Amino acid sequence: MPGEDGYQHDLLVIGGGGAGLRAAIAAAEESNRLSIAVLSKVYPMRSHTVSAEGGTAAVMRDDDSLDTHAKDTIFGSDFLADQDVVETFVREAPGEVIQLEHWGCPWSRDPDGRVSVRPFGGMTVNRTLYAADKTGFHMLHSLFQTSLKYEKIVRYDEWFATSLLIEDGTVCGVTALNLHDGRMRPIVAKAVIMCTGGAGRIFPFTTNAAIKTGDGMALAYRAGVPLKDMEFVQYHPTGLPGTGILITEAARGEGGHLKNKDGYRYLQDYGLGPPTDTPVHRKMELGPRDILSRCHIQEHQKGRTFDGPYGHYVHLDLRHLGEKLIDKNLPFVRELARNYVGIDPVHEPIPVRPVVHYMMGGISTDITGKTSLDGLYAAGEAACVSINGANRLGSNSLTELLVFGARAGRSAARHALERAAPRSNPLAQLASDERRRLDQRFLRVDGREKIADIREEMQKAMESGCGIYRDRATMEATCQTLAKLRERFAHISLADKDAVFNTELIAALELECTLEVAETVARSALAREESRGSHTRTDFPKRDDARFLKHSLAYRTPDGPRIEYLPVTITRWPPEERKY
């Protein structure tokens, strides 16, 4: 709901997930003179952060060190992470998770009352804090409930941001559609932080919730801000066939085994062995996600996976862990497996297959969350700062929301304190232009194209061209399909012309965003002629540091994305071969 000054604020956060709420609280703590608004297309506690299961990484124990966390992250990123950013990340992570503990997050505990840590893929020591296997849920609700105590934070719940307001090269807010009455309004602010999350829904088979459509990435991209490293899409090795619902990596951290159709722990054939009874850091099932997903495909090509109605799968076997441990540390895994595939992991192995999970790329920012556009900041999965490089390590993302959400909140707050309020007259004009655009594009025309058709074709094209293994020919075909879909989108037809809670209009706006984001993924992938992290090309199977130890930047042009490059910052860890 708007504050006293109508729709004028000092600071506007788009997105009420982990990153957005952390940013808003950080800004409120930075100065009590600021009016702060959080605008979100869903109620904040519905944001996708709620689905995160496994945990959040930070150095908490004497057997760990900041350098080890940094090294694991950089190694996992296949040396594409900016090392100065990673060093800041690992340094600020412990304070952030403790802050969240002070705000009530019910972290799982050791007998002596300290927060517990568990092993996670690609990490050399136990450093992943968790709240059973509902970590994201507890983090999001703790942040949201804590945010309620700040009266300076007002909320626009179920408002959809449709564009950035820009005047004289400076961001002055957004135009947003109130779902409840269908009205478009300019929400004016001196600084805007994009915390709109990822874009997994550009693919057909994903762990991501329906709302993950890359809106913020598209809004920034349309305003001329480059999207960084978009070709890097993480597949998680263990999703449920059919729905794509995630079975957390914590299941393997607790000791779960991946087995092929002969009951054999096949990862030992791919250099990840030897198999042991108790989990060993970075070995076997605790290898990084990009490698485990590729092993699955190779195992399939050898004819050693199962075949089901939703394609090939392998088994994730937890039976040896026993009911007690499963109920204590993995209760949600048990609930999900029982509900959605009718299997009780205490007695049977869970069918799993690789599934699109996370976007390493996003809105290009510096270490303070600032973008190239004056007044625009970004954090969380929507942003690329970058700590994840070519492959994110599990449990680094939730920590990223905290560290860089807080950083973006503080720097945007300082920016807002220094700036004069934007003039609102021209902005009202921009908002009514935007309203007219939507009316003409979606509500007055009777086109022939259906949202669901275009969405399905886009998703199919992305899976075929930008999946786990990629090559030039299929990526080019994907790019052509996407260009055609963009043309077809101009003839989209909506049955729903109502103002109140028009979810079909929202679906159309989201589809427009996904189409744009999908093109940046495909074009960046096509241009990167090497294999690194999650980006694996059969026609360029080797990493090529001479040509591609660089971030890619996708800029919008009328003919589709233009790709440029930016050097990677190396501080103390010179690139070496990535072997586990």
Partner 1 sequence: MSDATITLEVTRYRPGHDREPHPQSFEVPFQKDWVVLDALNHIKDRIDGTLSYRWSCRMGVCGSCGMMVNGVPKLTCAAFLRDYRPGPIRVEPLANFPVIRDLVIALDDFMEKLRRVKPWIIRAEEKPVSEGEYRQTPAQLETYKQFSMCINCMLCYAACPVYGLAPAFVGPAAIALAYRYNLDSRDEGYRLREPVMSDAVGVWECTFVGECSVVCPKGVDPAAAIQRSKLAGATDWLLSMVMPWGGRR
- Residue 53 contacts ligand FAD per CB under 6 A: yes
- Residue 65 contacts partner 1 per CB under 8 A: no
Backbone angles phi, psi at 431, to 5 degrees: -70, -40
- Residue 42's Cβ-count burial label (10 Å; 0-12, 13-18, 19+) is buried
- Residue 380 contacts ligand FAD per CB under 6 A: yes
> Which one of 115, 211, 341, 507 is in contact with ligand FAD (CB under 6 A)?
211
Annotated catalytic, 180? no
Q: Are 8 and 185 in contact (CB under 8 A)?
A: no
Smallest gap from Cβ 250 to ligand FAD, in A, equals 7
Quick one: three-class SS letters along 283-294?
A: CHHHCCHHHHHH
Choose the binding region for ligand FAD from 8-16, 88-96, 220-228, 314-322 (rule: CB under 6 A). Answer: 8-16
Compare residues 330 and 563 and give the one whose CB is closer to ligand FAD: 330
- Residue 7 corresponds to which amino acid? Y
Smallest gap from Cβ 208 to partner 1, in A, equals 9
Question: CA 67, 136, 232: angle at the middle one, nearest 5?
Answer: 60
CA 506 to chain centre: 20
How many of the chain's residues bind partner 1 (CB under 8 A)?
Answer: 61
Question: CA 362, 143, 191: angle at the middle one, nearest 5?
Answer: 50
Smallest gap from Cβ 212 to ligand FAD, in A, equals 6
- Residue 148 contacts partner 1 per CB under 8 A: yes
Cα–Cα dist 184/109, whole Å: 47
Compare residues 95 and 271 and give the one whose CB is closer to partner 1: 95
Cα–Cα dist 172/375, whole Å: 7
Annotated catalytic, 236? yes
Choose the binding region for ligand FAD from 10-18, 436-444, 450-458, 540-548 (rule: CB under 6 A). Answer: 10-18
Residue 40 binding partner per list partner 1, ligand FAD, none, with a CB distance cut-off of 5 to 8 Å that depends on partner kind: ligand FAD
Nearest to 464 by CA among 449, 482, 485, 489: 482
Smallest gap from Cβ 39 to partner 1, in A, equals 15
- Residue 381 contacts ligand FAD per CB under 6 A: yes
Helix (H) or strand (E) holding 233: strand 233-239
> Which one of 268, 276, 301, 339 is in contact with partner 1 (CB under 8 A)?
339
Smallest gap from Cβ 127 to partner 1, in A, equals 15
Sole residue written with tokens 């850091």: 281
The dihedral through the CA atoms of 266, 272, 274, 278 has a sign that is: negative
Residue 99 binding partner per list partner 1, ligand FAD, none, with a CB distance cut-off of 5 to 8 Å that depends on partner kind: partner 1
Tokens of 361: 């790329």
- Residue 147 contacts ligand FAD per CB under 6 A: no
Helix (H) or strand (E) holding 546: helix 545-548
Smallest gap from Cβ 146 to ligand FAD, in A, equals 15
Beta-carbon count within 10 A of 580 CB: 17
Q: Are 100 and 402 in contact (CB under 8 A)?
A: yes
- Residue 127 contacts partner 1 per CB under 8 A: no
> Which one of 12, 154, 193, 195 is in contact with ligand FAD (CB under 6 A)?
195
Q: Count of H helices and E strands in the chain?
A: 15, 22
Nearest to 80 by CA among 384, 474, 333: 384
Cα–Cα dist 26/177, whole Å: 26
Residue 335 binding partner per list ligand FAD, partner 1, none, with a CB distance cut-off of 5 to 8 Å that depends on partner kind: partner 1
- Residue 327 contacts partner 1 per CB under 8 A: no
Q: Are 197 and 380 in contact (CB under 8 A)?
A: yes
Residues in the chain: 580
Q: Are 450 and 491 in contact (CB under 8 A)?
A: no
- Residue 338 contacts partner 1 per CB under 8 A: no
Cα–Cα dist 389/392, whole Å: 7
Q: Are 508 and 442 in contact (CB under 8 A)?
A: yes
Which one of 48, 138, 155, 252 is the catalytic residue? 252
Compare residues 41 and 265 and give the one whose CB is closer to partner 1: 41
> Which one of 77, 142, 395, 411 is in contact with ligand FAD (CB under 6 A)?
395
Beta-carbon count within 10 A of 143 CB: 29
Residue 336 binding partner per list partner 1, ligand FAD, none, with a CB distance cut-off of 5 to 8 Å that depends on partner kind: partner 1
Which one of 48, 118, 138, 236 is the catalytic residue? 236
- Residue 55 contacts ligand FAD per CB under 6 A: yes
Cα–Cα dist 99/102, whole Å: 5
Residue 234 binding partner per list partner 1, ligand FAD, none, with a CB distance cut-off of 5 to 8 Å that depends on partner kind: none
- Residue 490 contacts partner 1 per CB under 8 A: no
Compare residues 61 and 484 and give the one whose CB is closer to partner 1: 61
Choose the binding region for partner 1 from 139-147, 319-327, 349-357, 518-526 (rule: CB under 8 A). Answer: 139-147
* Pairing status of strand 153-157 against strand 36-40: parallel
- Residue 521 contacts ligand FAD per CB under 6 A: no
- Residue 15 contacts ligand FAD per CB under 6 A: yes
Q: Are 130 and 55 in contact (CB under 8 A)?
A: yes
Cα–Cα dist 47/140, whole Å: 8
Residues that bind partner 1 (CB under 8 A): 42-43, 45-48, 50-51, 95, 98-99, 101-104, 106-115, 134, 137-138, 141, 145-146, 148-149, 157, 180, 209-211, 242-243, 245-246, 309, 332, 335-336, 339-340, 450-452, 494-496, 498-504
Residues that bind ligand FAD (CB under 6 A): 14-20, 39-42, 44, 47-49, 51-56, 135-136, 160-161, 195-198, 207-208, 211-212, 215-216, 246, 248, 357-358, 380-382, 394-398, 401
Catalytic residues: 236, 252
